[in-house]
A = this chain, B = another copy of it.
Amino acid sequence: MSSLKDNDLSLEGIKLRLRDFAEARDWDQFHSPKNLSMALSAEVAEIVEHFQWLTEEQSKNLPKDKLAEVETELADTLIYLIRLADKLDIDLIKAAQNKIEINEQKYPVNKAKGNAKKYTELDNE
């Protein structure tokens, strides 16, 4: 059992709590990175499903009940993402910080600023 309290609010805290959760249920046998990547993609698709027939404007102004549903899907997505990173021994926060640094150099403000076409092209490089 983890020594962290249930209300630990960091990513690290959630990682340990999820470890305990899977271990107690003997579910590690199902949590190969391959399987977790599938579960992750299925959860993200449930987010997409909420937005597929909405306009962009509508997606910014979800009614409360819809928003609560989307919140649950985001939670599931984060849970599987943390679990997958744990199984691969990847530090998610550090990885994200590194990637943002790369993006800051890849998309310099003066080249990327405010142009949809440019944005798309840069994005597809």
Please give the residue numbers on chain A whose beta carbons come within 8 Å of chain B beta carbons, in ascending order.
6-7, 9-11, 14, 17-18, 21, 24-27, 29-30, 32-35, 37-42, 44-57, 59-60, 62, 67, 70-72, 74-79, 81-82, 84-85, 87-88, 90, 92-101, 103-104, 107, 109, 112-114, 116, 119-120, 123
Interface centre among A34, A42, A90 (most CB of B within 10 A): A34
Q: Which 7 A-B pairs have the closest CB atoms?
A: A45-B45, A26-B114, A75-B99, A32-B56, A38-B52, A34-B59, A75-B95
- Give the copy number: 4
Contact flag A53-B116 (CB < 8 Å), given A44-B40, A99-B76: yes
A67 to chain B, nearest CB (A): 7
User: Cβ of A30 and Cβ of B119 under 8 Å apart?
Assistant: yes
Whether A78 and B96, one on each chain, are in contact in the complex, defined by CB atoms closer than 8 angstroms, is: yes
- A107: chain B residues at CB < 8 Å are 25
Chain B hits for A17, CB < 8 A? 97, 100
List B contacts of A57 (CB < 8 A): 32
Give the interface centre of A6, A35, A62 by most chain B CB atoms within 10 Å. A35
